Structures are given as structure tokens and as C-alpha cells.
Chain A
Amino acid sequence: MIRDITLGQYYPIDSVIHRLDPRVKLVSTLIFVISLFMFKNFSGYIAATLFLFGIIKLSKVPFRYMVKGLKAVLILLMITVVFNLFLTPGKPIFEFWIVTITDEGLKTAGFMAIRLTYLIIGSSIMTLTTTPNNLTDGLEDLMRPLSKVRVPVHEIAMMMSIALRFIPILLEETDKIMKAQIARGADFESGNIVQKAKSLVPLLVPLFVSAFRRANDLAMAMEARCYRGGEGRTKMKPLIYQANDYRAYALNAAYLIAVIVIQRL
């Protein structure tokens, strides 16, 4: 059920992209997403398509794996397209009853569809090729300047990695509680939405109680192992840029320049 979500799950394989520094991947994703929203004509999309497919090829992650992730947002995608298609004012090219499709509408809808699809594929390449831990490390490092303005960067990163560690444990626990409640006659399957939501109460209450208990235990275990926040902490796996990472940055810069130039043409 919840286990089947593929969107953004790490795909363990060895590739150039997998070996890149997480910071590079975060920055590149950001650049790619920004570039998507800069385009106003088709030539820009050709550049983005080439770039995206180049990266997909390099990452060695099967293409269908990424498309699978798209399924989760298909409805959102359709809604956006439909709204843009029918509600953009402009020169009508098709009229039927109250439905009007305009030239501009068709164009924006098409762009929007491509933008969203690329956005999702682009960001899922990042999560597919980076372990969650690596990702939090990268985020922590990139956000470090924010700690100057009192943003608890280390704490946020630590919370993220602990959350990631406990997701499978809590899933298992949910499963266990569910079975225990079913054994005692609870019904999670039948009824309308309201009844189904109500039947989740005997599932959620014990789950929350146990999550708090776990949190308490974990905090004690962390303190017992001398955890006292980010200060004075060393890293077992520090992030160090390799030659390939600089190349990736250069490639990003080249891509950004190319996009800007194409827009000007």
C-alpha cells in the first residue's frame, strides 16, 4: 500500500550521477527547475529536453522507473492542463456550446504540461540517485549560511535523517497495530469515507503513543552517546568535492548560459 510509492525512492546502481556530490545535484536541480520557468518559446524546451535526457542516460536509472513516479501526480497534471486549455482568453480556434479553446490556451496548456512533467522527472532524478542520508548531508551543508541568522540547520538535518530512519519502523508498527485491531473486530475496509476515517482512530492513537515512546527512548540513547547538537561534531563522511563535481557545476553553468542565450534569440 504505502510501500508502493516509487516517487523519489533511491535506485541503487552505480553511475556517474550517483557518485556526484549531493550538493551538486541539489544545485543542478534548482537550476533546472528555474530554467523551466524561464522559457517562453519552443527552442528553450529543446535545450531542456536534451539536457534532461542526457542526465537520464548518464544516471542509468531505467526511464520507465521515472515515468512510474509521474503516475502519482497525473491528476494534478490533467487539472492544470484542462484549466489552462479552457480558461485562457485569446483568439478562439475551436468553439462548441460553452467550450472555447483559444490559440493561447493551447500553447500555455502544452507548456504547462511539459514544465510539470520535466519538473517532476528532474527532481526525481535527484532523489533516485542520492541516498536520503546523502541528501540531508547536502542540504545541511548548503543551508549552513542560514545558521548565521539562527536557523537551526543542523537540527533540521538531524530530524530529517531520523525521520527517514523511522519511516520503515513506523510502517511496520502500523501494520502490526492494524492486524491487532482487526483481530479484535475492527473494520478498516468497509463504509464511506467518513466511516473509514473514523475507523482509523483506533489505529492512529496507539501509533502516536508508541511514536512518542520511541522518541523518548531515542533521545535518551542519543544523549547516552554524547550527542549535544551540531557544535564540536565531526563527520564520518564529510562532503568533499571531486573533479567530476566541478565538471558538473561547469556543465550547469553552460546549460544556464545556453538557455539565456536561446531566450534572447
Chain B
Amino acid sequence: MGIIEAAKLAFEYIRRDEDGNVESIVRALDGIDLDVKKGDFIAILGHNGSGKSTLAKHMNGILFPTEGTLLVDGKDTADERNIWDIRQTAGMVFQNPDNQIIGTMVEEDVGFGPENIGVPTEEIWKRVDAALKSVDMVKYRKHSPNKLSGGQKQRVAIAGVVAMRPKCIILDEPTAMLDPIGRREVIETVKELNEKEGVTVILITHYMEEVISSDKVYVMDGGRIVMQGTPKEIFSKVDELKKYRLDVPQVTLLAHELQLEGIDLPDGILTIDELVGELC
């Protein structure tokens, strides 16, 4: 059984006018089927407004499905009694690092989650230590979050989720507001968590480079899952990706263009080394 299972999941945003009459209905999610295995690194790609953030909010019980079901670790998110279990099982990291840090000191923020779920004091300290170590932020533990860089803040936010010992971490465009260095920091941290601690990772992004090392990629458009497969399979379909207004990594694009020019290359080249190996 997978850790996150969605069956025919649909969600509608209902816009109402001042009198409460329905003005328009936007179907943000439509017939989503998803099966995420424990320990997987899943990437969800999509253009703005493709419904990927809406999907992420379902996995954490912030939004509830209009139709269909979503099971997180076997628990139905539509059932309100499960909500706290689900939020503990599936931790969530948001886009803006400033708006999700609650504590005025790094270690206090990391301790916020465990405090909420009623972990005893000594255990909180152990968890905070471990979480800070796993994101390599131990030496900043006494710092104010305001003095950290974007990448560091985002790592603190990840530590805050890790300290709750979730089985699954959902990252909703965690790198959208970061510079390239911060982006690399965050992605490496997430990768390490996935490999060393076996945490299931669901990374929602529109940066193709971050997707390369994932186990499976889903591409969303207009609230539907339109493509799925390994990064290699996905990126070998350069033209189809372009249709969904997504860019492939530069190396892949170069290889694709070379192919079109008649140079004999395999599909779905993802790294510079791979391309060098094929060409030379």
C-alpha cells in the first residue's frame, strides 16, 4: 500500500459574490489518480495554475476533496478526526520562507511542531538536535531567523517539519523565492533526507533541474495529470513538455536539437556528463 493514494480526486474553487451566490466554479483538480510508494522521491511539475499547489494542500488536509478520495498512510483526509494524524504524517514546507517560520530563534521554531503535538520537553530537545543536524543548521540554532539567507530559512522550515517525524514531506515550490545557491542547498538537503532517512518526498516545482534525480515525475496541466514516468521518460518527450509550457533542462534541450540536426543520440539525456559521454 502506498503512503499517498488518490483516486479520482477533484476539487472545485467556488467563487461567490457578496450575497453568497455562486459566481463561478473553477475546477482546480480533476480526476487525479496518484499512488506514491513509501521512500519514493516524487516530483510534480506544472505551469502556474496547473493545480499542483492545490494538490499539495490536499495531502496535508488543508483543503478537502470535492469528489474522490485521498488516503494519506491509509487515512482518509476527508474525515476530520484524522486531520492531526495526517498533518503529522505528511509535513508540509511552503514557498515563502518568511511566512512559515514562527519562532524568534531557529531552535524554537524547529521545536514548534513537536510542542504542538505534545511531545515531552526532553524528547523535543532530542528531536530538535537531530532535525537541525539533518539539515546542517546546528551552528545557527541560536540565531534569529531574520538574519539567515533564504536557503537557510527554508532549511530551518524543513527541520521544523522533520522534527515532527513525518513519514512524508511535501514541498510546495520551496525554491521559488531563492537564489541559485539557496536552491541547490534546499534540494540537496531534501535529497539527503530521502536517501539517508528514507522519508518520502513530494517535491512540487517548476524548475526542471530539480526533478532529474527523482524516482518518478508527474506533469500537471489544467488540474489533470497529463504525463507520468521516470525523469528520463518524461524529458525524452521534449515537444510534449513544450505543449504544457514547461522547459526541459538545457542539456536535454541541446541534445534534442542535435538529434533534430541528425546527430545520433539517445532520448532523454539529463546531465552534462551523459551528453559528453555520448558525444565523445
Interface residues of A (CB under 8 A from B): 131-133, 161-162, 164-165, 168-169, 214, 217-218, 220-228, 232-238
**CB-defined contacts of A228 to chain B, threshold 8 Å:** 84, 116
Whether A234 contacts B119 in the complex (CB less than 8 A), given A133-B108, A217-B96, A228-B84, comes out as: yes
A165–B103 CB distance below 8 A: yes
Smallest CB gap from A132: residue in B: B104
User: Which of B100, B105, B128, B144 has its CB near the most chain A CB atoms (within 10 A)?
Assistant: B100
* A contact patch SS: helix
**CB-defined contacts of B98 to chain A, threshold 8 Å:** 169, 214
Whether A225 contacts B112 in the complex (CB less than 8 A), given A165-B102, A236-B125, comes out as: yes
Whether A169 contacts B104 in the complex (CB less than 8 A), given A224-B60, A227-B116, A234-B124, comes out as: no
User: Which of B84, B98, B118, B145 has its CB near the most chain A CB atoms (within 10 A)?
Assistant: B98
B100–A169 CB distance below 8 A: no
User: Residue B51 at the A interface, CB < 8 A?
Assistant: no
**CB-defined contacts of B161 to chain A, threshold 8 Å:** 225
Q: Which of A133, A161, A168, A226 contacts B113 (CB 8 A)?
A: A226
Whether A235 contacts B87 in the complex (CB less than 8 A), given A221-B94, A224-B60, A225-B161, comes out as: no
* Residues 132-147 (chain B) with a chain A CB within 8 angstroms: 144-146
A237–B100 CB distance below 8 A: no
Q: How far is the CA of A224 from the CA of B62 in the complex (A)?
A: 7
Smallest CB gap from A219: residue in B: B99
Q: Which of A132, A162, A234 contacts B120 (CB 8 A)?
A: A234
* B contact patch SS: helix
Q: How large is the interface on B (under 10, 10 to 19, 20 to 34, 35 or more residues)?
A: 35 or more
B104–A226 CB distance below 8 A: no
Smallest CB gap from B112: residue in A: A225
B113–A169 CB distance below 8 A: no
User: Residue B115 at the A interface, CB < 8 A?
Assistant: yes
A168–B96 CB distance below 8 A: no
**CB-defined contacts of B118 to chain A, threshold 8 Å:** 232-234
B121–A225 CB distance below 8 A: no
Q: How far is the CA of A227 from the CA of B60 in the complex (A)?
A: 13
B100–A226 CB distance below 8 A: no
User: Residue B151 at the A interface, CB < 8 A?
Assistant: no
**CB-defined contacts of A232 to chain B, threshold 8 Å:** 118
User: Residue B114 at the A interface, CB < 8 A?
Assistant: yes
Q: How far is the CA of A238 from the CA of B144 in the complex (A)?
A: 20
A234–B102 CB distance below 8 A: no
User: Residue B150 at the A interface, CB < 8 A?
Assistant: no
Total A-B Cβ pairs within 8 A: 90
A224–B96 CB distance below 8 A: no
**CB-defined contacts of A233 to chain B, threshold 8 Å:** 115-116, 118
Whether A224 contacts B108 in the complex (CB less than 8 A), given A217-B99, A218-B102, A234-B120, comes out as: no
Q: Which of A131, A217, A235 contacts B100 (CB 8 A)?
A: A217
Shortest distance in angstroms between B118's beta carbon and chain A's nearest beta carbon?
A: 5
Whether A236 contacts B121 in the complex (CB less than 8 A), given A224-B91, A226-B164, comes out as: yes
User: Which of A161, A222, A223, A228 has its CB near the most chain B CB atoms (within 10 A)?
Assistant: A223
Shortest distance in angstroms between A22's beta carbon and chain B's nearest beta carbon?
A: 14
**CB-defined contacts of A226 to chain B, threshold 8 Å:** 84, 87-88, 113, 116-117, 164
Q: How far is the CA of A222 from the CA of B117 in the complex (A)?
A: 12
**CB-defined contacts of A222 to chain B, threshold 8 Å:** 102, 112
Shortest distance in angstroms between B204's beta carbon and chain A's nearest beta carbon?
A: 14
**CB-defined contacts of B91 to chain A, threshold 8 Å:** 224-225
**CB-defined contacts of B101 to chain A, threshold 8 Å:** 165
Q: Which of B84, B103, B115 contacts A235 (CB 8 A)?
A: B115
Q: How far is the CA of A146 from the CA of B99 in the complex (A)?
A: 31
Q: Can you list 22 contacts pairing A with B, beta carbon distance less than 8 Å?
A: A132-B104, A133-B103, A165-B101, A165-B104, A168-B144, A214-B99, A221-B92, A221-B94, A221-B100, A221-B102, A223-B62, A225-B116, A225-B164, A226-B113, A226-B164, A228-B116, A233-B116, A233-B118, A236-B108, A236-B115, A236-B121, A238-B121
**CB-defined contacts of A223 to chain B, threshold 8 Å:** 62, 87
Smallest CB gap from A172: residue in B: B146
User: Residue B111 at the A interface, CB < 8 A?
Assistant: yes
Q: How far is the CA of A133 from the CA of B62 in the complex (A)?
A: 29
Closest 8 pairs (CB-CB, A-B): A221-B100, A217-B99, A236-B111, A226-B116, A225-B113, A224-B92, A236-B124, A168-B146
Smallest CB gap from B123: residue in A: A234
**CB-defined contacts of B146 to chain A, threshold 8 Å:** 168-169
